[in-house]
Amino acid sequence: MKNKKGENEMGINIDAIKAKLANLKSQTDKQDNLWKPKPGKTQIRMVPYRFNQENPFIELYFHYDLGGKNYLSPKTFGRPDPILELAEKLKMSGDKEEFKLARKLEPKMRTYVPIIVRGELDANGELKPGTGNNAVKFWGFGKTVYQDIMSYIADADYGDISDVETGRDIVVEFKTAEETGRNFPETKIRPKPNKSVLTDDSDELAKMITTQKNIAELYKEYSYDELKDILTKWLNDDDDDESESDESANTSSQKSTNSSQESPTKVAESTVVTDKSEIKSQFDDLFNESK
C-alpha cells in the first residue's frame, strides 16, 4: 500500500522505480537503433527515411559533456535554446576564456542516415558469412563523412547512391586510434563501383521503410525551462566532470576521413573556465535571475 509520498510500506519508491525502468528502456531502444562501425570494413546501404523520403540526412544538434551528459538542442527544431543564448552572449564579451567556454557550450551538429548493414568484409572485399543485418539502424557521423557522402551524390558518375533501384552500397572502413597512431580513430567511405537494388523483395523493402523509428524519439527533447535548470545546476556545480563525452563525432579535415568516435568538445575549444563567477553574472543578466 502506498503512502502519500508514493512509497510502499517497505520504503520503496515505486514511482522512482518506474522512472528508472523507463530510462533503461529508452537507453536500450537507442542502442538497438543506432549503428557504429567496428574496426575493419563493413558494407552498408543507405535507405529512404520514412519521415522524409526526399532526404535521408537528418541533422541533429547536441550540447556535449555538460556536467558529464549530452543534451539534444532545441536548435534542431528551430526553437529557442537557453544554453545557445548564453554561449552567444559569452562570445560577445570580448574575453578570450569566455569565448572558449562559449565554443564548448554551442550545440554541435551530428548527421544521421538510416542504413542496413550488409555485413563485414574479408581481406578480399567479400562479405563474411553470417555478418549481415538487414534491420534498419541509424548511423551518426560528423562533418567530413557528411561532406564525402554528399560529394559522391553530387558527382554525375555516382548520382543518388541511396536510390532503392539504382543506388550503391557503401564500404565503411574504420580504424581505431591505436591503428592510426593518432589521438583519434579514422573512418573512410567508398561507394561500390556497381549499382544494385536495395532488395528484390518488395515486402522486405516495405518493411524497411514502415518499421523505421522516428530518430527524434530516440533523444529526449528538453523544454526551454528544463535546459535552463540544467545550465543553472552546471554553473553552480564546481565539482562537475569535465571529461570528454563518449558520444562520437567527426573532427578530421582530410577528405574521406572521419574520427567518428572523438568527442565534439575537442572540435571546439574544450578548455573550460574554472572560475564561473563572471559566467554566472552573464547568466543572471541574460535571464534576469534577480527579478
Q: What is the CATH number of the domain that holds 76?
A: 3.90.198.10
Q: Which of 74-78, 215-219, 256-260, 264-268 has the highest mean pLDDT?
A: 74-78
Domain boundaries, position 10: 1-35
Asked if 247 and 144 sit in the same domain, the reply is yes
Asked if 31 and 41 sit in the same domain, the reply is no
Asked if 41 and 31 sit in the same domain, the reply is no
Q: Report how far apart, in Å, the C-alpha atoms of 268 and of each of 42, 229, 272 are.
A: 30, 24, 11
Asked if 49 and 25 sit in the same domain, the reply is no
Asked if 92 and 211 sit in the same domain, the reply is yes
**Better pLDDT: 132 or 65:** 65
Asked if 27 and 41 sit in the same domain, the reply is no
Whole-number pLDDT of residue 280: 62
Asked if 130 and 25 sit in the same domain, the reply is no
**Reported confidence tier of residue 126, pLDDT bands at 50, 70, 90:** confident
For the chain, what percent of residues have pLDDT higher than 90?
52
Asked if 22 and 42 sit in the same domain, the reply is no
Q: How many domains does the chain have?
A: 2
**Reported confidence tier of residue 247, pLDDT bands at 50, 70, 90:** very low
What is the average per-residue pLDDT within 123-134?
Answer: 82
Which of 244, 242, 269, 251 shows the shortest CA–CA distance to 184? 251
**Reported confidence tier of residue 245, pLDDT bands at 50, 70, 90:** very low
Whole-number pLDDT of residue 10: 60
Asked if 49 and 189 sit in the same domain, the reply is yes
**Better pLDDT: 44 or 11:** 44
Whole-number pLDDT of residue 290: 40
Q: Is the sign of the CA dihedral 130, 135, 141, 143 positive or negative?
A: positive
pLDDT at 155 over 90: yes
Asked if 12 and 102 sit in the same domain, the reply is no
Record the pTM. 0.75
Q: Where are the alpha helices (DSSP H) in the chain?
A: 14-33, 82-91, 96-105, 143-154, 177-180, 202-210, 224-236, 277-287
Asked if 82 and 156 sit in the same domain, the reply is yes
Asked if 204 and 273 sit in the same domain, the reply is yes
